Chains A and B, each alone.
Chain A
Amino acid sequence: MCLAGLYPEITKLVIQRKPNQSLGLNISEVFGSGNEGYGLDKAYLMVNQVVSGSPAEVAGIHVDDTILSVNGTMVFDLPSLIELSKGRNKIEMVVNRMMENAAGGSFRQSNVIDVPVALDPAGMKGLGLGARVIEVTSGLGVDSSVPFLMVCALNTYPNGQPGPSMMAGMKQYDLILMVDGEEVNSLKQLVIALKNKTQPVFTVRRLTFEFGNNSVFTKESKALREVQLSVTRSQGAGLGVALNEAYRQGESDPFVVVTAVRADSAAASAGMMEQDLVMRIDDVDIFSIADVRAAIQGKNSFTVVVHRFGLAPSNAGGITAENFWDLADELFDTIDKASVRPCAIHAPQLLFLPHVVCTGGFVI
């Protein structure tokens, strides 16, 4: 594991733009050193330039970022990227960014978790790990980082059952750092590390979110309200949420964001919502998923304080998805009729005026 120096950070960003507005990115397809894991026929997409003030810059895309996926689909060429982003005002990108650890490895070392995977009984004759793993690096040539292994897809058994990695909770874009405590930086090392193992423990670094200046998540731009939730769960039951650690641009302290809430779960019953920021649990400040785990371990009831952005649809004063456009239309008419203007003409008229353009001479 690269505790000091450079390492690739797998980060999800959201670009928001106006209709038909350019993203503001100059991107190259890069073949050769550093993309061996993609296969010879595939490139990776590197950002050469980010236009100042563009949606991409606002979202936090950097020069030398490698674009891994667009709206959930892996991309290896420019036409695919253009097709996937065409006509969309909101674009989710997962990028691979070379980050530099601060001294002591304290910078962005969160989101590292252990995942024990029970390889299938048939060993490598079956699904084995049940994950497609590729080597990724950041940067180019001599400036690139050492290769890291990234999970780019999770496989299921032919009958549709989740494969071993999926069952164990491995996620797409997980960066595999170690297997049973041994560093792995290449596919070859991974194969050796898994040899004769039935339940290896993978140490992975999970995808982080980065929130740019345009996001609804930006605390400074949207009103936040603090909501206190009382969570009660039965013995041994989970919380029922998917959490992710997130960063704001240029900051090293993460915060925890709720990315999904399972229906009929303890979190759903307590009123937890997607995009809530988990700030405190039983008066303990929360900065990481590990903090959440520690704070709720062994407890059947606890208080969660979340920060919620903007207005929750359910509390929108009668505004719902069903009547939203009707209300918007009605409001337009109301504003349009609001103005008091001088009466200039007594009745509607159509005046037909000749519009004449001449080059010299005069007009008749």
Chain B
Amino acid sequence: MTVHFQNIMFTIICCSVFQEGSSDDLLSVADMQSFFQSRAGIAQRYIEEMDGYSNGSQTTPDGKISRDEWYGYFDYLAEADTGVAETSPAAYEALRDMSGAIR
């Protein structure tokens, strides 16, 4: 009997405590929908616009928004590549649109 081990590695699985008020530095669809509640359309819109939108590189959408994707999205709207400390009307509008829902 021959046993072939081609690859053995250890995978680190991080299990955080899933409780109300916890954070994992990723925004899921559930996070967004919970936050926006009745404004589900906005949650869906921003998930679609931000997911896979990492700053400096296009990544595959995975249903979650990382902080890099979050910054990348606003960078894009704010035209931060110009190096000018300013934001565009579109960036202000998006932030206001979202932050207006803070309870």
Knowing A324-B92, A347-B17, A348-B16, say if A19 contacts B11 (CB, 8 Å): no
B3 near A341 (CB under 8 angstroms)? no
B61 to chain A, nearest CB (A): 12
Whether A339 sits at the interface, judged by CB under 8 Å, is yes
Q: Give chain B's interface secondary structure class.
A: mixed
A90, A319, A336, A342 interface centre (most CB from chain B within 10 Å): A336
B27 near A332 (CB under 8 angstroms)? yes
Chain A contacts of B25 at CB under 8 A?
A: 336
Chain A contacts of B70 at CB under 8 A?
A: 328, 332
Chain A contacts of B14 at CB under 8 A?
A: 348, 350
The distance in angstroms between the C-alpha atoms of A216 and B4, with both chains bound, is 60
> What class of interface size applies to chain B in its complex with A?
35 or more
The B52-71 residues at the A interface (CB cut-off 8 A) are 53-58, 67, 70-71
Known: A19-B72, A353-B13. 6 other contacts (CB 8 A): A88-B82, A222-B93, A321-B86, A324-B91, A350-B14, A353-B10
Knowing A309-B89, A324-B92, A339-B31, say if A358 contacts B24 (CB, 8 Å): no
Stretch at the interface among A45-53, A142-150, A229-237, A310-318: A310-318
The distance in angstroms between the C-alpha atoms of A118 and B61, with both chains bound, is 61
A323 to chain B, nearest CB (A): 10
B42 to chain A, nearest CB (A): 11
B23 near A352 (CB under 8 angstroms)? no
Whether A343 sits at the interface, judged by CB under 8 Å, is yes
